[in-house]
Amino acid sequence: MRNNPTTLGAAALALCATLAAQKIHPDEFKLKPQIDQAIAAGVEHLLDGQVRDGSWGVHPGQPGGQTGLCAYALLKSGVSPDHPSLQRAFAYLDGVTPDKTYAVGCMLLAYGATGKREHKARMRELLDIMLRIQGKPGTWGYPHGAPDLSNTQYAALGLWSADKAGLKVPAEAWQRLIEGTLTHQEAYRLANVDISDRTGVAKREVAGFQYRANGAKDLKNATGTMTTAGVSILKICEIGLGSKLKKDARKELTRALNAGLGWLEVNFSVQHDQRPGQRSRGWFLYYLYGMERVGGLAQQEQFGSHWWYVEGAPEVLRRQKNGSWGKTYDTCFALLFLRRATKLGPTTGSGGAVASRHLFSVGKDSDDVYLQGAGQQPLMLYLSGFGPPLQATHKDYGLRILRVDYLEGDRVLGQVAGDPTRAWHPNDTFLHRCTALSHGVHKIRARIELVDPKVPTGETTETVTIESAEMDVNIRDVIEPWMQGLADMQKSKGLKDTKFEVTATSNAAAAVQAADGQMSTSWLCDKADQEATLTLTFPEPVKARRLLLTQPFQKREDIQRMGLVRQIEVRVNSSKRPVVIDLHPNPMAPTEHAFRKLQRVKTMTVKVIKRGGKPGLPVGFAEVVLDEKKK
């Protein structure tokens, strides 16, 4: 069907009218292909960074915080809540009881972004924690120490997420939050603002926000990061209170909001994130995500004459390397900015950019075989061609293929029959759909049986066999039973609320990390320790029906730098006969041992008696759990 010029002209006019009505800069659409590509690469980077327990590690002192932020960024980037990585993430989060403001706020954001009613009860638990740790001024700290506007903005985001999920946030909490936030705002002053290229300069009342409340009215310590935080908090409170916001309070709030927006207009920059004229101090992407929130909440595409998204997006794109923006949280902030997470804009509404990009290949011109793979479950394996030297060898009769085998080690993943009566054609891909690969990296190769190039057409009595190089295939988007076992360990009370001591035959200072309730930390023995042993001693006996252990690997590549534990000897109390336990053959999986009867454990020793992997490497445990519940 040919395009009708009249129709195209009408579409262009309609687009221009839409842009004018929404005040969208036309250059935003020119950036869309780069933005889509950056979002897709960022999503893949985050998904690849997930560790075995479903988390993205633990930011110091903030269990659940980084994983909540990553899950939120993925959901806002268009990844389905039913994606295996997000299912694993929420299984992990379900077992975390956070007590820090950032963690509670990020977890509320993540659960709320799924849109699933089944998470409502969990969100109510988190909301109760958030309300309980609200400080006396109405703002939030870590929660220890003095309140600050950074923690407070994530508390406000968490409250807003709960409110949108239909949970009741007390009006008093919103009102106190407004009062506390205003103590972080500078005194009002008049400043020149560039309204637009046409209208020029005008006077406007401005007042920025600063990190701490002390002296806010007397000092000019406002920053871009904290002013975007202050404006966002006040706007969220305005939404949260709705008609409950009284007339005088609304007037005061409106003035504070306008003054904050004025400060951002006067001091607009996409080059630095702190006080005007100072160099960035490492929070640039945090600042831009704050700017995105202000733009979305205030429904503002411009700060004065500046188009914040069009000017900010190229800076974000420029800083991306190999899908990442450096630290995990910075990658999240960059995605949330590019994706316009607070209010999806016209360039970011399509989820097509975040489709999974699992493509694998091996083979170059000098190789005989070009092998490729695509997808996850199923994984499509196929031949994309053969090298010129091989084709030259078979130039007389062409490549006559009897059979193609796809293998991992000695295991045959699939076989595809060929037609040796005719020469191979580039359209012959020998496609095989492989549906049963486990989580992790697989080394796959193709083995091709060919008619000998010297044999005339019509004969197949003599054959030759060639193989491709091994192709690394990362199967990531799959959930396996052992992953649920890790989630169960995370939810288990285990030793979290129990007093005990842990000693070890070496590296004793780190021994407690083998039983600290976090699979992201671990104990490793010294390389010279050939009888690696942990001993747990309890002041009061602990009831246990089963023992669960995990090895210290967060990702499979960790196996290259640590040894494997194959078998352990466990002795409970003064037992003369220790129990010998073979660890799970998959070193990423937890090992579970059920005691014959309920144990009252006063002391327990875990000794490594058989190792695997590369010799000379340290071994250890990420977590040792005693659980009273039956499986």
Q: 7-62, pLDDT tens digit by residue?
A: 445 544 444 444 444 567 888 888 989 999 999 999 999 999 999 999 998 887 88
Model pLDDT, residue 23: 66
Task: Kindly indicate the confidence band of residue 5, based on its pLDDT and cuts at 50, 70 and 90.
Answer: very low
CATH of the domain at 464: 2.60.40
Model pLDDT, residue 487: 82
Q: How many domains does the chain have?
A: 3
Of all helices (H) and strands (E), which one includes residue 238?
helix 224-241
Task: Point out which residues pair with 625 in neighbouring strands.
Answer: 548
**Is the pLDDT at 67 greater than 50, yes or no?**
yes
- Contact by Cβ (8 Å): 558, 571: no
CATH of the domain at 298: 1.50.10.10
**Are 373 and 441 in the same domain?**
yes
Among the candidates 447, 475, 503, a domain finishes at: 475
Quote the mean pLDDT of the chain.
89
**Are 398 and 532 in the same domain?**
no
**Are 455 and 528 in the same domain?**
no
Tell me phi and psi for residue 228, to 5 degrees: -65, -35
**Is the pLDDT at 621 greater than 50, yes or no?**
yes
Model pLDDT, residue 178: 97
Model pLDDT, residue 198: 56
Give the pLDDT mean for 596-600.
93
**Is the pLDDT at 3 greater than 60, yes or no?**
no
**Is the pLDDT at 109 greater than 90, yes or no?**
yes
Give the pLDDT mean for 564-585.
94
- Contact by Cβ (8 Å): 140, 152: yes
Model pLDDT, residue 10: 53
Cα 495 to its chain centre, rounded Å, is 28
Residue 334 falls within a domain, yes or no? yes
Residue 23 falls within a domain, yes or no? no
**Structural domain of residue 441, as residue ranges?**
359-475
**Are 400 and 435 in the same domain?**
yes
Pairing of strands 379-386, 432-434: antiparallel
**Are 71 and 212 in the same domain?**
yes
Residue 24 falls within a domain, yes or no? no
**Are 462 and 493 in the same domain?**
no
Enter the tokens of residue 274: 């702190």
CATH of the domain at 537: 2.60.120.260
**Are 387 and 339 in the same domain?**
no
Burial class (CB in 10 A: 0-12, 13-18, 19+), 197: exposed
Residue 8 falls within a domain, yes or no? no
CA distance 93 to 135: 25
Task: Kindly indicate the confidence band of residue 518, based on its pLDDT and cuts at 50, 70 and 90.
Answer: confident
Q: For residues 18 and 476, which has the higher predicted lDDT (pLDDT)?
A: 476
Give the pLDDT mean for 418-425.
94
**Is the pLDDT at 362 greater than 70, yes or no?**
yes
Residue 556 falls within a domain, yes or no? yes
Residue 572 falls within a domain, yes or no? yes
**Is the pLDDT at 2 greater than 70, yes or no?**
no
DSSP code for 301: S
Model pLDDT, residue 260: 96
Burial class (CB in 10 A: 0-12, 13-18, 19+), 263: buried
- Contact by Cβ (8 Å): 147, 230: no
Residue 412 falls within a domain, yes or no? yes
**Are 534 and 489 in the same domain?**
yes
DSSP 525-568: --TT-TT-EEEEEEEEEEEEEEEEEE-S-SSGGGGGTSPEEEEE
Q: For residues 502 and 194, which has the higher predicted lDDT (pLDDT)?
A: 502
Q: For residues 148 and 30, which has the higher predicted lDDT (pLDDT)?
A: 148
**Are 464 and 504 in the same domain?**
no
Q: Which residue has the tokens 């106190």?
A: 176
DSSP code for 514: G
Among the candidates 475, 499, 522, a domain finishes at: 475
**Are 470 and 492 in the same domain?**
no
Model pLDDT, residue 59: 82
Residues recorded for the chain: 631
Q: Helix crossing, 65-76 with 84-93: angle to 10°?
A: 150
Model pLDDT, residue 229: 97
Residue 568 falls within a domain, yes or no? yes
**Is the pLDDT at 141 greater than 90, yes or no?**
yes
Among 203-217, 325-339, 548-562, which range has the highest average pLDDT?
Answer: 325-339
Report percent pLDDT > 70 for the chain: 90
**Is the pLDDT at 488 greater than 50, yes or no?**
yes
**Are 61 and 183 in the same domain?**
yes
CA distance 191 to 418: 78
Enter the tokens of residue 213: 């409340």
Among the candidates 354, 382, 402, a domain finishes at: 354
Model pLDDT, residue 494: 67
Model pLDDT, residue 6: 46
* pLDDT 10s digits, 226-265: 999 999 999 999 999 999 999 999 999 999 999 999 999 9
**Are 212 and 281 in the same domain?**
yes
